[in-house]
Amino acid sequence: MPFEAPLRVSGWRPHPGPQTAFLRSTADECLYGGAAGGGKSFALLLEGLRDCRNPGYRGLLLRRTYPELRKSLMDQAHKILSGLATYNVEHRAWTFPGGGQLMFGALGDDRDVHRYQSAEFAYIGFDELTSFTQYQYEYMLSRNRNIAGLRNRVRAATNPGGVGHNWVKARFIDTCPPYEKRWFLRDGADETVVTADTPRARSRNFIPARVTDNPTLMEADPGYIARLEALPERERRTLLEGRWDISFEGLVYDNFDTTLHVVDAVDLPPDWLRFRSVDFGYNNPLVVQWWALSGDDELILYRELYATRQLVSDIGPLVRDLSANERIMTTVADHDAENRAELEKHGIPTVPAVKKIAEGIQACRRRLEPDRERGLPQIYLLRDCALRRDPHLVAANRPTSTQDEFAVYQYPRDAGGTSIDEIPLDLDNHGMDAMRYAVMHVEQMKARRYGGPQYRWRRLEGI
Ligand SMILES: Nc1ncnc2c1ncn2[C@@H]1O[C@H](COP(=O)(O)OP(=O)(O)OP(=O)(O)O)[C@@H](O)[C@H]1O
Ligand SMILES: [Mg+2]
């Protein structure tokens, strides 16, 4: 699929960098997402031209509402397509000389997808994907097929934020390192990363958008960046910086950034100090985290159990077996005496966690903050380190890992909507609590100089 095809047809050129990378993507699904103004909607339109010479080509570009559709896509479509194709107002469709068609539609609520129930599109493009529901997106994937021998593809563009922020982030940003294509196999609610040759695997790809991607805009409107810089904190972070970890004001760890703190799995040197931290729960998740500490005081969450409706008596042997070949120094646990005794029965003695909330949060924030010199933090999470996604949590649309909790762990708000920075809301905070216990454990250890100079750990390579 030569990426030059849309260019040959229209005479428009994608800008070098992410816009070109997006048009070159060979993944089944590709998201171009992040900062505003990078040329994302324009790229969706160019992609819609790729197969326009094929008489059997049908493409569909979607927005959530008609006014948005008109403003962001249809006006630009006129700019690009006038002279190349003819427009039918009633069907909102452009027809190319050979018979191929590019259509436009809006999906107000979930039922609107059924309008397309017998249709087939080789190309489906979603503009502002975070304004759609996951149901709408997944339903439309079933319409992505054709009998004209064309390659099927789904493309999306978006800024962070919006009702769909969490599912979009989980589908593309948390799972796909920027620019890298990944393959996924779905089994019910579970999804695993697999190799390219796995039968039935589908590929995905995330292209981060920066505001500076678009020289057309920079030239035409030199004051654009200054206007974004003047926005309130949250809007500035999403629209100017294209940050995904900020979903609303009042986030406890608003300095958490998946592109910085979540890293691909690496083999951790066996001589690094390892320990576990545990937060008990039954209806709420029971969280067991495995941490490694490098010689440079970097904490790495390398494995995690995050499960509801599991008895400690059942989980105990699993926790022990998972650590079979590791030297675990200790296990820091929430104070519940019965559960701690149960772990002890399985050969997992525990020490009580330091539970001071405000102090613990400060310590975690300090570790998350990149240092000035190297721009690196002192805490990392290995990508996909949670052992499995709990189906009950998936069904309830709740976080399924510590990483998920960062986007929802927040302070309460007063009547006027201002957040009160004292004690966070007691909601979906189980991985956050376990992380706090782990961090406080290390702080305490450092204070006591426990382990002290006899450890000569190496820096974590490759981070
Ligand atoms: N390759 C290109 N060649 C010429 N003009 C371009 C190109 N890419 C984008 N533009 C123009 O730059 C402007 C901004 O692009 P666009 O609306 O696609 O950005 P966006 O990333 O979708 O912005 P937003 O985040 O606000 O939705 C538009 O006027 C568009 O026509
Ligand atoms: Mg746009």
Under 8 Å between Cβ of 253 and 406: yes
Percent of the chain with pLDDT over 90: 56
Mean of the per-residue pLDDT values for the chain? Answer: 87
Read off the pLDDT of each residue in 35-54 and give the average, rounded to a whole number: 93
Convert the pLDDT of each residue in 363-394 to its tens digit.
999 999 988 777 889 999 998 899 988 888 87
**pLDDT for 262 beyond 90:** no
Read off the pLDDT of each residue in 297-315 and give the average, rounded to a whole number: 96
* DSSP-derived secondary structure letter, 98: T
Domain boundaries, the chain: 5-217, 259-454
Read off the pLDDT of each residue in 110-137 and give the average, rounded to a whole number: 89
**pLDDT for 9 beyond 80:** no
The pLDDT score that the predictor gives to residue 461 is 34
Q: Is the dihedral of CA 46, 50, 56, 61 positive or negative?
A: negative
Please give the biggest Cα pair distance in the chain: 77
Read off the pLDDT of each residue in 83-98 and give the average, rounded to a whole number: 92
Of the ranges 13-17, 102-106, 403-407, 457-461, which one carries the lowest mean pLDDT score? 457-461
Read off the pLDDT of each residue in 19-28 and give the average, rounded to a whole number: 95
Read off the pLDDT of each residue in 248-271 and give the average, rounded to a whole number: 81
**Which of helix, strand or coil describes residue 263?**
strand
Q: Is the dihedral of CA 380, 348, 322, 456 positive or negative?
A: positive
Of the ranges 109-123, 249-263, 314-328, 426-440, which one carries the lowest mean pLDDT score? 249-263
| Class at the top of the CATH hierarchy for domain 259-454 | alpha beta
* DSSP-derived secondary structure letter, 294: -
- Distance CA(94)–CA(82), nearest Å, equals 9
The pLDDT score that the predictor gives to residue 248 is 55
First vs last C-alpha separation in the chain: 34
Confidence of residue 89 (pLDDT cuts 50, 70, 90): very high
Amino acid at 352: P
**pLDDT for 413 beyond 60:** yes
Distances (CA, A) of 46 to 42, 153, 208, 374, 375: 6, 14, 18, 39, 37
Read off the pLDDT of each residue in 268-274 and give the average, rounded to a whole number: 91
Q: How is residue 454 written in tokens?
A: 């006899």
> From the CA of 113, how far away is ligand 1's center (Å)?
27
**pLDDT for 450 beyond 70:** no
Q: How is residue 234 written in tokens?
A: 């949250």
Give the residue, out of 207, 216, 241, with the most ligand 1 atoms within 8 A of its beta carbon, to mutate for a pocket test: 216
Give the residue, out of 13, 32, 41, 45, with the most ligand 1 atoms within 8 A of its beta carbon, to mutate for a pocket test: 41
Confidence of residue 24 (pLDDT cuts 50, 70, 90): very high
**pLDDT for 277 beyond 50:** yes
| Class at the top of the CATH hierarchy for domain 5-217 | alpha beta
Among candidate residues 356, 445, 5, 29, the one with its CA nearest the CA of residue 203: 29
Under 8 Å between Cβ of 325 and 346: no
**pLDDT for 109 beyond 90:** no
* CA 4 to centroid of chain Cα atoms: 30
Question: What phi and psi values does residue 193 have, to the nearest 5 degrees?
Answer: -80, 130
**Is the model more confident about 161 or about 461?**
161
- Distance CA(268)–CA(81), nearest Å, equals 54
Confidence of residue 456 (pLDDT cuts 50, 70, 90): very low
Under 8 Å between Cβ of 257 and 268: no
The pLDDT score that the predictor gives to residue 384 is 81
Count of residues in the chain: 463
**pLDDT for 458 beyond 70:** no
Read off the pLDDT of each residue in 231-236 and give the average, rounded to a whole number: 72
pTM of the model: 0.62
Residue owning the nearest CA to atom 7 of ligand 1? 39
Q: Is the dihedral of CA 207, 211, 213, 217 positive or negative?
A: positive
Find tokens 């937060």 and name the residue. Answer: 279
Q: Edge to edge, what strands does the sheet with 29-34 contain?
A: 86-88, 93-95, 101-106, 58-63, 123-127, 153-158, 29-34, 202-209, 182-187, 190-194
The pLDDT score that the predictor gives to residue 416 is 63
Under 8 Å between Cβ of 102 and 124: no
Confidence of residue 6 (pLDDT cuts 50, 70, 90): low
> From the CA of 410, how far away is ligand 2's center (Å)?
29
**pLDDT for 247 beyond 60:** no
- Distance CA(58)–CA(52), nearest Å, equals 8
Read off the pLDDT of each residue in 44-72 and give the average, rounded to a whole number: 91
Give the residue, out of 82, 217, 235, with the most ligand 1 atoms within 8 A of its beta carbon, to mutate for a pocket test: 217
* DSSP-derived secondary structure letter, 131: G
Burial of 436-453, coded b for 16+ CB within 10 Å and e otherwise, reads bbbbbbbbebeeeeeeee
Under 8 Å between Cβ of 346 and 323: no
**pLDDT for 333 beyond 90:** yes
Of the ranges 39-53, 243-257, 354-368, 398-412, which one carries the lowest mean pLDDT score? 243-257
**Which of helix, strand or coil describes residue 420?**
coil
Residue owning the nearest CA to atom 8 of ligand 1? 39
The pLDDT score that the predictor gives to residue 219 is 86
Q: What torsion, rounded to 10 degrees, do the Cα atoms 13, 60, 31, 34 define?
A: 70
